[in-house]
Amino acid sequence: MTERVLIQSVDHYEIKDKETGVINLIDQVYYFNDYREASDLNAGVKPMKSPCTPEISKEIMASLPGCSIGIFDIDSKSRPGAGGKPTQMIVSAKLVRLINLAELLAVKVQPAPKAVAA
pLDDT reported for residue 117:
67
| Mean pLDDT score of the chain | 88
Domain membership of residue 112 (yes or no) is no
**CB–CB of 60/93 below 8 Å?**
yes
d(CA 49, CA 11): 11
pLDDT reported for residue 22:
92
Domain membership of residue 80 (yes or no) is yes
d(CA 40, CA 66): 37
Of 113, 31, 49, residue with least CA distance to 87 = 49
Domain membership of residue 55 (yes or no) is yes
Domain membership of residue 118 (yes or no) is no
Using DSSP's 3-state secondary structure scheme, residue 66 falls into coil
The structural domain count of the chain equals 1
- Share of residues in the chain with pLDDT > 70 (%): 98
Domain membership of residue 60 (yes or no) is yes
DSSP class of residue 36?
Answer: -
d(CA 81, CA 83): 6
d(CA 78, CA 10): 19
More confident residue, 50 or 114: 50
d(CA 44, CA 71): 18
Range of the domain at 45: 2-103
For residue 41, is pLDDT > 70? yes
For residue 35, is pLDDT > 90? no
pLDDT digit string (tens) for 61-117? Answer: 999 988 899 999 999 999 887 788 888 999 999 999 999 988 888 877 777 777 776
Q: What is the pTM of this model?
A: 0.79
Domain membership of residue 115 (yes or no) is no
Domain membership of residue 110 (yes or no) is no
Domain membership of residue 35 (yes or no) is yes
